Amino acid sequence: MQQHVQDQAPQPGTWLEVSDLDSVCEEEGLALGDKLYFRVITSLGLFECYAPKLGRRFWIDPENVQAVTDLASVHALEQEVPALYRI
């Protein structure tokens, strides 16, 4: 069972992963399991994240992400988050 995070806001700096795809995710080239570095919740309720795969910020519906449980899988990605986007 997937544990989506829309009911509980993650802490800034938490890693999330794409668990469902909508048309925006698909158009941007994200895939299931892609990792996202959570920054803030926008006034529209979207999660602002840094997407290492895209090399930039990305806004995603909270229903499309879940918490990363395998922290070892994101250890290498930590180095890819530019200081500008770090919390």
Look at residue 80 in the predicted model and tell me its pLDDT: 86
Beta carbons of 34 and 16 less than 8 angstroms apart: no
Angle at alpha carbon of residue 84, lines to 26 and 29, rounded to 5°: 10
Label the pairing between strands 65-67 and 56-60.
Answer: unpaired
Sorted by sequence, the CB contacts under 8 Å of residue 84 that are 6+ apart come out as: none
Q: What is the pTM of this model?
A: 0.87
CATH class of residue range 15-85: mainly beta
Residue 3: pLDDT band with limits 50, 70, 90:
low
40-85 pLDDT, tens digit each: 999 999 999 999 999 999 999 999 999 998 888 888 888 889 999 9
